[in-house]
Structure 1
Amino acid sequence: MTNPNDPNQPHDARKTPIDLDSETGDEVNQPETDVVDLEASAAAANEPEDFDSSVFDPAMFGQVQEMMDKLQRVDDLERENNDLKGRLGRLAADFESFRRRTADDASEARSKGTAEAAEALMPVFDDVSRAIEMGSGDPAKLLPGMQAVQSKVLSVFEKLGLSATGQEGEAFDPQWHEALQVVPGDEDDVVVQVFQRGFRMNDRLVRPARVVVSKKE
């Protein structure tokens, strides 16, 4: 005998319980279950819901896209900034090396110029020594000896590129002369006396000549 409620029984052997009318005892017809409707309901439950286009906000999407673009630009600027920092560091190192080389070259040039000037003046020192030695025995010989030394010094200065300025009778030029005194004279702005010779190198003043200038009354 089969039990209609036994789950181990085949599907056909399981019988749906029959409801009876309590008064007549007749069988009450139950509505049959629509298997197709149940399967359609189950399939509909498993299917994803349709996309609700009303939820999509184009403005919000544009803002998100704009934010992403800005973040990308920030990354690009950061990489560019790091690159510029590296280039600046290398440039600073190159400039420091150049500054050291320039300072070394300038120091070497000064040392070389000093040595050359001293070497050029050594014969003058020898002439001064001989003039003093000769003048100690005969003072009258001291003056010609010192004049010879003066001429040699001027010759050395010319070789070094120096030109003497400040001679009696030349026109006063404030670029090369320094007027220590102004005296009455027959002409204006004429050097009438030189207290100290001056020197220039091409168009650059090395030392102004200190002079007395005449002024016509």
Structure 2
Amino acid sequence: MTNESNKTEQQPDTIEQETVENTDEVVVEKQQAEQEVEVLSAEQEKIAELEQKLAAALAKVDEQKDSVIRAKAEVDNIRRRSAQEVEKAKKFALEKFAGEMLTVVDNLERGLATINAEDEQQKTTYDGVNLTLQGLISGLDKFGVKAVDPQDQPFNPELHQAMSMQPVEGVEANTVIAVMQKGYELNGRLIRPAMVMVSK
């Protein structure tokens, strides 16, 4: 009986001990689970933070790409405009000089008109003035100065300046019937319009 009572007395102690051990294991497992959850949530926070930083960095890269593309386009535009301005400067640098030379051309042409080329005494003078005029016109032509002589052509207000209008039989209206002064262009740009008489 004593043995049985000892067994009975020992059993509750063993049960209590097992219960305590089980409880301790549950507490330890619970703590481990909480720690794992904390570690996971900390890692998730870190991942979320890194994802935000990555998104911000990618947005910054896109913004920088856009800035670089715009800057390159602006540089290309500046380069193109500069090249065009240099080209225009080369083409039209002689505009004022050519304008002054046109007065000399006009005076030589007027001088030729007053000399009688058939007269033996005036023939050498005529030839000399004509050679000078042709040399000047040839020199101007080399630098892109071209005459606008619209005789018997339709009137063009972009190239011609009408000084008067007259009715002329057998001539279509708005036709240049007389050129009072030739016009000139420098590389396609009008530097002086032709002064003309136009038919009504």
TM-score by length of 1: 0.47
Percent identity, please.
Answer: 20
Residues in 2 aligned to 1:203 and 1:108: alpha-carbon distance in whole angstroms: 14
Q: Structure 2 CA distance, aligned partners of 1:40 and 1:172?
A: 122
Relative contact order: is structure 1 or structure 2 higher (C-alpha 8 Å, sep ≥ 6)? 2
Deviations 1:71-116 (A, max 9, x none): 343442223323444x2486278548836963884487369x64xx
Deviation by residue 1:5-36 (Cα, 9 ceiling, x = unmatched)? xxxxxxxxxxxxxxxxxxxxxxxxxx836222
Does the 8 A contact of 1:166 with 1:211 survive in 2?
no
In structure 2, the partner of 1:102 is: 83
Q: Which runs of 4+ in 1 moved over 6 A?
A: 67-70
After TM superposition, the structure 1 = structure 2 runs for residues 54-93 of structure 1, keeping only pairs within 5 Å, are 71=52, 72-85=54-67, 87-88=68-69, 91=72
**Does the residue aligned with 1:76 lie in a helix, a strand or coil?**
helix
Give 1:81-160 correspondences, 5 Å limit.
81-85=63-67, 87-88=68-69, 91=72, 94-95=75-76, 98=79, 102=83, 105-106=86-87, 109=90, 114=94, 144=126, 146-160=129-143
SS of 1:199's equivalent in the other structure is strand
| Counterpart position of 1:7 | none
Q: How many residue pairs are counted as aligned between the two chains? A: 151
Q: C-alpha separation between the residues in 2 aligned to 1:202 and 1:101?
A: 19
- In structure 1, the partner of 2:4 is none
Q: Which has the larger radius of gyration?
A: 1
Range moving further from structure 2, 102-111 or 171-180: 102-111
With the length of structure 2 as denominator, give the TM-score of the two structures. 0.50
By how many angstroms is 1:184 displaced?
Answer: 1.5
Is the contact between residue 166 and residue 210 of structure 1 (CA under 8 Å) also seen in structure 2? no
Unpaired segments ≥5 residues, structure 1: 1-30, 51-63, 132-139
C-alpha RMSD over aligned residues:
4.7
More helix by share: 2
Q: Whole-Å Cα distance in 2 between the matches of residues 146 and 210 of structure 1?
A: 24
Match of 2:177 among 192, 197, 205: 192
